[in-house]
Amino acid sequence: MVVSLLLALPAAAGLWLVTAGRATPPRLARPLAAASALGTAVLAVLVLVTGSQVDRAWLPELGLRWSFAADGISAPLLLLTAGIGLVVTAHAWVELPPGGSPAGYLGCLLLVETGALATFTARDAVLFLVAFEVVLVPMWVLVGRYGDRRDPRARADAAGRFVLYTAAGSSTLLVGILLLVVSTGTADLRELADGAGAALGPGRQLAVALLLVLGLAVKVPVLPLHTWLPPAHTTAPTAGSVLLAAVLLKMGTYGLVRLPLATVPDGFGRLAPVLAVAGAVGVVWGGLVCLVERDLKRLVAYSSVAHMGFVVLALASGSETGVQAALLANVAHGLVAALLFVLVGGLKQRWGSVDLAVRRPALRETSPRLGLALVVGLAASLGLPGLATFWGELLALYSAWAPAGDRPRGVFVAAAVLAAVGAALAAAYALRVAGLVWAGDRPAADAGTGTDAVGVERWVLVTLAGAVVVLGVAPMLVLSSTADAVAGLGGLR
Amino acid sequence: MSPWLLVAVPALASLVGVVVRREDRWAGAVAVLAGGLTLLLAGIAWVLEPGSTAGHVLDLPVGGLDLPLATATDPARLAVATVVALVALAVQAYSTWYLGADDRYGQFAATVSLFTAAMLLVVVSADLVLTLVGWEVMGWCSYLLIGHWSRRPEARRAALKAFLVTRVADIGFVLGVVGFVAGAGTSGLSGVVGAWREPTGCLQEQLAAGAPLPEALGACDAPDGRARTVLLVLLVVGVLGKSAQVPFQDWLPDAMEGPTPASALIHAATMVAAGTVVLAGLHPLLADSPTARWVLGVAVSVSMLLAAVLAFAQSDLKRMLAWSTVSQVGVMLSAVAAAPPADGPDAGLLHLWSHALFKSLLFLALGWAAVAAGGTAAVRMRGSASATPVLRAALLVGFLSLAGVPLVVGGVSKEHVLAAAYDGAVAGDGPGVLVLVALVLTSAATAAYATRGYLLLTAHRRDRPRAGTVTPAAPAVLWALTGASVLGGLVVLTGSFALHQVSLLWLVLTVLVVGVGVALALVGGLDRDPAEVLARRLVPYADRGLGVDGLYRRVVARPVLRLARVVAYVDTEVVDGYVRGTALATRAAGWLGSRLHRGERSSTAVGLVVGGALLLGAVGVLGWS
Amino acid sequence: MIHLLGPYLLAAVLVGLGVAGVAVRRNAVLLLVGVELVLSGGLVLLVTTQAAGADRWAAGSVLPLFVVTVAAAEVVVALAVVLAAFRARGSIDLDAPATAQDAP
Amino acid sequence: MSTVVSVDLLVLAPALAPVLGVVLLLVGDALAPGRAGGRWALPVAACVLVGGAVAAVRAALVAAEDPARTLCLPAPGDACLWSAGPRASALQAGVLLAAAAALALVHEAAALRRDTAVTATLLLAATTGGVAVAAARDLGGWLVALELATVPVVALVALRGTRPATHGALGLLVTSLASFALLVLGAGLWLTATGEPTFSSAAAAGAWEDPQRRAVLALAVALLVAGLGFKLSLVPFHAWTPQVYPRADLGTTAFLAGASKLSATAALLVLVSALAGVVDGPGPALVLGLPAALSLLLGTVLALRQEDPARLLAWSTVAQAGWVLLPLTALSEDGLRAAAAYVLTYATATLVAFAAVSRAGARSLEQTRGLLRRDPLAGGALALALLVLAGLPPGVVGLVVKILAVSAPVAAGVWPMVAVAVVAVVLGIAVYLRWLVVLPGPRREGDARAGGEPPRGWASATVLVVGTALLAVASVLPHLLLTAVG
């Protein structure tokens, strides 16, 4: 019951805002959206507390059930999504992108949140896919209509690329899911996970795993399927980027855990070396591009590619530690990316562009609060202990070094070494940004002071930075939530 | 009392410090009080309850891996913790004067607190992952501290360089930690040491049997001898980076762009010395692995001697101290590298203890003198300390200690290091002989540049140099550290460090070597700069650190950036090419299709129908039969 | 049943002729003629089948009646359309331009 | 041995209702020619269509267990010429409602023309054929009904009288004639191969067993598919579609795109249901898969280039016809159901799109810019319809039927078709989003229609409201749709 409400509340508010309430003035739409997001967050907590679930037939012809529930694996992501939903709706007080009605914008944010929540709670493979698709259109609208005003062509290109690329992924995913469902005769994710693919022959397992991994890899994104991400991030409005990085990408990794890893472990195991190498190369690749990227927003996007590389590497290892690491790194990256995108969005709003080639006075001098938040974000980005990303990425390295028994250890150790090199690159690009933006390369004397973060923006930053620190100091908040559920995944060894 | 308290107090202080960073007085009060409290706690712990190990304060459920996050409080660690706390307190108190007028003092104090917490974490940690946490946090703090005056491009560059060089070396450290933990299944130090102490020869056998390396790796997941050697070398590489040993030495002199108290902290008691603590913890493994010992021994031998010579020829006195740090850290590590298993690493830790005292003393004294003189160049600082008794006393004790004159703290520890190296040389399977020779030569060179430093700073000047305006904090700190440097050697009597008896022979030898060094420095008489006399041609090279910076750029930075450009190009033009290619192909197909349908002729339509039917019929008949 | 070869061949020839006519003719009426040839081929086939072995409802004989009726109705409509086309553009060439502007 | 054929009028009601309408109209027109411009004809036609739809729905509900059969012949064989299971009944209801929607669009443009009664008569006649073919089980009934569904439409197109319209009609005519010839030929071959004048599994199975007859069966099926391919606008039998859609009036086009496709699919289902479960292997799949794949690819790729909404919808029809055929390549019961569900969804969405285009009076995509603000009903309905066609939530029903359509070949292991489907999904999204993106655009200065002109026409509004409501309900409860198609 509560879980139905959890989905219905943002869906109803979002739909109303994009349809009937499209003309609602911002003064009413903002509180409404924020209230819905707050209500959703409360409901998310309630769902976790009460263990609410709903399970009824929806499409019996397809064996498809209307089945939503949260378990340990989805709990952190559920909270993350609800929290980010609050953040983005609150951020509307800071920035309301032009391009369409404000209410429509807020509605799209809520709809994306709905889709993500549904994805994280879906207990049925086909329903998972349907939920997976829900985010596409609102996100497309966010990028395509409310995105960067300067270049309409680039905007259309980025939006189209996002939606088509991810649709290609989800179509592949659909085929994989259908093959899995027809092979096993059930679409229930729990049953599928319990069966762990025992009903499938090795060839079928491999085919299913390949399709599932390919489809989800687009969303994660895994190198070389990542090229939709940078344009989408660069173009999307701040809140859109935050949702994209903090929530949408997580749907991909979550899917990897729920689908191939849990349901066809043997097939996944055969793909794992490729995935591990792709992840590790992604870490290095993203890091290298960040070293020379000029647009700060694009840079953060590529750093996302690098961070998700760690997550993929950990998942590929197939050990319990690896999955734990991946889930932790997943949430951590969500927080860090949200923090960085809010910051960069703020900077873009102030400066007009975030071209790193433009010499600017030190942020730590002109806007100390933004500067502090930036330093926290960058430090987290380079994996500083005490901040969120460290644990996940260290454990990812560990799990790659000691992968599950059936994995080719040589490949995984090589991937771990590569990823460790990538971590050093992360330091290089993070400090490059710190040097150019935070410390500044223009004397402050001729700049005057910029406007610092005040009001909502300040609190958004404080919240996100605080969450980054808290998760860094207390990673067990996530780990203990996921531990039992991960241990229950049949395919792990 | 939990050793976590030692870490928590400065960590909390840094958190509070960030919150109140705008109010200098509050920030200073928080920092100094927390520093004092930490010192008190460390002292109490040292005196009252050494020898406990605690684990599992945090329960991290991460599958099969055991993460006890254990701490250990054996006497040697607590002694080191105490001296760290002492130096940190000194630096905090000193900073209230030195950076009193700085607009970012609050941040500085908070960062120093965090730095202290991180170092104390490394010291009390009995868990490799915890060690890594402290290790990395120190690196980050060093970036903030060195780049404190970020308005100056040199400071920004130095900070960047310091962090990047150490971080690159840390690739080795991280992999080493991960590898050891993975082999043992636990991150607890005792567990790791226990598991890796008796390694198998699996890899060796597999490789000998002709299996390729990846397969052999897959076959051997138990702790293995070869793997242990590789992992130890990786760890050693990380330590060399953080400790600014060859080939990573060049970041440290540049780091002198940071405020002097920060330099004192980084050099004396924390970051660069942390490697000694880490390797001391792993000494049972290290001592068993000649290859790793040799790597470490060669690197530190080269480092200590090279750095001592370069220190002698520096035209900037602060950079002279920096190079002396490189050299002295080399001395500490050499004890770990050379000491045979029976001796243990405590000679290195003892030198860490003494180096912390006298190096912080020297830095803080030099900082005061430099403020008075308005710069740190040798020419400008000449005689700048001559008029201030406290400075003269501090410098005298500090340089005596640095030179290793017996009975002051530096002398005591250096004798133990020499003794350990001698034991190693006698035992014969490690780099003992090399280290011993390097140590003797380094001692002489050290004495020479220490003499030079003292002579220059206290030289007589016609015009009476200004003493500078100081708050009482600065002289108090200097007096305290001077006293500690004189009496610090008594620590050997507490038995905190597991040391062997040192024979009188070493005392005599030390005096001799130091004497040679001092004599060397005095060849040109008391009034002339010995560097001018002995090594005038070397000075320009020494100032540039032998041009290693250019080497870093050419060998690492530029190729990486070039690779990055290639990757960025490939990313947008090749990897994305297939995406654009798809779009292009679709458009082309659409164009082609609409060309075909342009005529919209009915006869074509009918022709298509007939042709399609024939095709389909053919397909059907052929396909079905 | 060798004696049925003739009718089958006749049907094939009719269909072939018709298809050829449809394929090459651009005049609407001649095209109609081609279509009728194909149709008659189909009718011959039906009837032959009936002769070869009767089905339950003698459909081979009944169906041609339906088909002929429908074809007649079709031709009525077809001629009406052809007439309309001729009125509208003065030609019953199938490939005459669709609009006056397109005309050369 | 009685020779009396049993007749159950109630079962036949869906087909009889439009026949009744035709009679009424003809009589009425004969009694009072040209009265009130013949506008009275439309409400009458609409009434009989809705009545027929009600009858079809009733039949669907009654037939849930057992197909409603009538026109049963006495022994031997004891076969019924009319057999409407729930799926056929649902398709019949769809045909009738789609015809009613087309009628509404005709009404919208009726002020321009005088011969409304004729139009309505032709429309009803075609509808009768479309309804009858869904339930026909014998070759004769099937052929006649199919042609009854086609020939009046040719006349409808030509009726507009303009030069482009006659050009389009000519194209339609010759293609339809050619395909009729193919159908007859195919029917003859079917009879030759199976010796049965009915589409029954038993007949097909008999022919499948014998290698010689199997080849004839293959040829028969290929020709029948080719003949139906014309009606479904499958490549390469599609060329008339982009010629006719933009040139006929919107009502006729809507009929072609909606009712006509439904009846063609119904006819195809009759054929394939005889094969399903009997034949298997790559050959039979290829006969259906080849046109399906070509339609999917060519239709989408060309739809991507169109600027005229009618042309875009024409090519989209081609692509969607490929989608309808896709699940049939599995030659399974699930595939039949998926095709029926797909075509119903497609027809609803397309009719909504045509109604919106008719309301907006748009001749280019650019003219629909800002439609969401200008006319929220048309804009919103169009947006939902496009999303359904693209298969993206919130048009969940579009996604569900796509999932169904893909799941059948996946289950049967027809991998090439699955690969084509994946490509087609992505390209299809590009097609519809390209249109969708202009809908919420800003008000255009200088656009005469943009000035807040009040929305017109209750008829198209009804189509929009009913269509959108159907799509919305099916999106929330797709189960209803699937129950309807069995």
What residues of chain D, 450 to 479, have a C-beta less than 8 Å from chain C? none
Nearest neighbour of B606 by CB, restricted to D178, D282, D298: D178
CB-CB contact of D381 with D392 (8 Å): no
Q: Is the Cβ–Cβ distance between B3 and B45 less than 8 Å?
A: yes
Cβ–Cβ below 8 Å for B608 and D301: no
Partner-chain residue, chosen from A57, A136, A178, that has the shortest CB–CB distance to D392: A136
* Structure-token pair, residue D96: 């009738």
Give the bridge partners for D70, in sequence order: D82
Closest Cα in chain C, distance from residue D237 (Å): 14
Question: Of D63, D104, D91, which Cα lies nearest the Cα of D341?
Answer: D91
Chain A touching partners, 3 or more CB pairs below 8 A: B, D
Question: How far is B274 from B276, CA to CA, in rounded Å?
Answer: 5
Residue D116 lies in a domain: no
- Judging contacts by C-beta atoms under 8 Å, the chain B residues touching residue C23 are 606-607, 610-611
- The mean pLDDT value for D457-481 works out to 89
Average pLDDT for D455-469: 85
* B215 closest CB neighbour out of A223, A397, A410: A410
Other beta carbons within 10 angstroms of residue B340's beta carbon come to 18
* B359 pLDDT above the threshold of 60: yes
* Chain C residues lying within 8 Å of B603, measured CB to CB: 25-26, 31, 94-95
Asked whether at least 3 C-beta pairs link C and A within 8 Å, the reply is: no
Q: Which of C19, C26, C94 sits opposite B610 (nearest CB)?
A: C19
Residues of chain C neighbouring D197 (CB-CB closer than 8 A)? 55-57, 59-60, 63
Which of B600, B602, B607 has its CB closest to that of C23? B607
What's the pLDDT at D74?
Answer: 67
Q: Identify which of B178, D407, B579 has the alpha carbon closest to the alpha carbon of residue A221.
A: B579
Global ipTM: 0.89
pLDDT at B490: 82
Mean of pLDDT over chain B: 85
Contacts of B134 in chain A (CB under 8 A): 385
> Average pLDDT, stretch B416-441?
86
Please provide the average confidence, as pLDDT, over all residues in chain A.
Answer: 88
Read off the pLDDT band of D383 (50, 70, 90).
very high
Q: Does C77 touch chain B (CB under 8 A)?
A: no
3-state secondary structure of D257: helix
When pLDDT is cut at 50, 70 and 90, the band that residue A452 belongs to is confident
Residues of B in contact with D218 (CB under 8 A): 617, 620-621, 623-625
Q: Which pTM value belongs to this model?
A: 0.91
Chains D and B share 3 or more Cβ pairs within 8 Å = yes
pLDDT at C104 over 50: no
| Residues C63, D197 contacting (CB under 8 angstroms) | yes
Helix D376-390 / helix D333-360 crossing angle, nearest 10 deg: 150
Looking up tokens 């006399």 gives B533
A309 interfacial to chain B (CB closer than 8 Å): no
| Residues D177-192 pLDDT 10s | 888 999 999 998 888 8
Q: What percent of chain B has pLDDT over 70?
A: 97
Q: Which two tokens mark D1? A: 């041995």
Please indicate whether, in this complex, the C-beta atoms of C19 and B614 are within 8 angstroms of each other. Answer: yes
**A111, closest residue in chain D (CA to CA):** D394
- The Cα A55–Cα D190 span in angstroms is 49
Weakest-pLDDT range from A121-125, B384-388, D244-248: B384-388
Q: Which of D127, D270, D106, D123 is nearest to D204 (CA)?
A: D270
Nearest residue on chain D to B611, judged by CA atoms? Answer: D236
CA distance, residue B603 to nearest chain C CA (Å):
6
pLDDT grade, residue D1 (50/70/90)?
very low
Question: Percent helix, strand and coil across chain D, each rounded to 5?
Answer: 75, 5, 20
> How many CB atoms within 10 Å of residue A348?
21
Contacts of C98 in chain B (CB under 8 A): 600
Contact D191 C15 (CB under 8 A): no
Distance from CA of C99 to the nearest CA of D (A): 6
Distances (CA, A) of B556 to A471, B168, B436, B559: 34, 10, 33, 6
Contact list, D430 vs chain A (CB under 8 Å): 160, 164
Whether A and D touch, i.e. at least 3 CB pairs below 8 A, reads as: yes
CA-to-CA separations, B557 to A288, A428, B551, in angstroms, rounded: 12, 10, 9
Please tell me if residue B599 touches chain C, with a CB cutoff of 8 Å. yes
Give per-residue pLDDT as tens, A148-158. 888 888 888 88
Contacts of residue B611 in chain C, CB cutoff 8 Å?
Answer: 23
Contacts with A, D 304-343, CB within 8 Å: 337
% of chain B with per-residue pLDDT over 90: 10
Measured on CA atoms in the order B210, B214, B217, B219, is the torsion positive or negative?
negative
Would residue D375 count as lying in a domain? yes
Using DSSP's 3-state secondary structure scheme, residue B55 falls into coil
Residue D77 in contact with partner chain C when CB distance is under 8 A: yes
Q: Residue B63 has what pLDDT? A: 78
Predicted confidence at residue A273, as pLDDT, reads 92
**Predicted confidence band of residue B575 (pLDDT cuts 50, 70, 90):** confident
**CB D316 within 8 Å of CB D299:** yes
Contacts for B428 with CB less than 8 Å, ≥ 6 apart: none
Residues of chain B in contact with residue A321, where contact means CB-CB under 8 angstroms, are: 62-65
In a mutational test of the D interface, the residue from A130, A143, A175 whose CB has the highest number of chain D CBs within 10 Å is A175
User: What is the structure's pLDDT at C54?
Assistant: 63
Q: What does the H/E/C string look like for chain A?
A: CHHHHHHHHHHHHHHHHHCHHHHCCHHHHHHHHHHHHHHHHHHHHHHHHHCCEEEEEEEHHHCEEEEEECCCCHHHHHHHHHHHHHHHHHHCCCCCCCCCCHHHHHHHHHHHHHHHHHHHHECEHHHHHHHHHHCHHHHHHHHHHHCCCCCHHHHHHHHHHHHHHHHHHHHHHHHHHHHHHHHHCCCEHHHHHHHCCCCCCHHHHHHHHHHHHHHHHHHCCCCCCCCCHHHHHHHCCHHHHHHHHHHHHHHHHHHHHHHHHHHCHHHHHHHHHHHHHHHHHHHHHHHHHHHHCCEHHHHHHHHHHHHHHHHHHHHHHCCHHHHHHHHHHHHHHHHHHHHHHHHHHHHHHHHCCCECCCCCECHHHHCHHHHHHHHHHHHHHCCCCCCHHHHHHHHHHHHHHCCCCCCCHHHHHHHHHHHHHHHHHHHHHHHHHHHHHHCCCECHHHCCCCCCCCHHHHHHHHHHHHHHHHHHHCCHHHHHHHHHHHHCCCCCC
| Chain A environment of D425 (Cβ under 8 Å) | 167-168, 171
10 Å Cβ neighbour count for D281? 10
**For position C103, what pLDDT does the model report?**
44
Taking CB atoms and an 8 Å cutoff, what residues of chain B touch C95?
A: 599, 601-604
Domain of residue D461, residue span: 280-444+452-486
Is C55 in contact with D162 (Cβ distance < 8 A)?
A: no
Structure tokens at A201: 């022959």
- Tell whether the model's pLDDT for residue D446 goes beyond 80: no
Please answer whether residues B116 and B85 qualify as being in contact, where contact means their C-beta atoms are separated by less than 8 angstroms: yes
pLDDT tens, C71-84?
A: 998 888 888 888 88
Residue B1 pLDDT level (bands cut at 50, 70, 90): low
Question: Is pLDDT larger for residue C54 or for residue A127?
Answer: A127
Task: Say yes or no to pLDDT of D349 above 90.
Answer: yes
Predicted confidence (pLDDT) per residue in D77-88, tens digit: 567 788 888 888
Q: Neighbours of C (≥3 Cβ pairs closer than 8 A)?
A: B, D
| Fold exhibited by the domain C2-89 | Helix Hairpins (1.10.287)
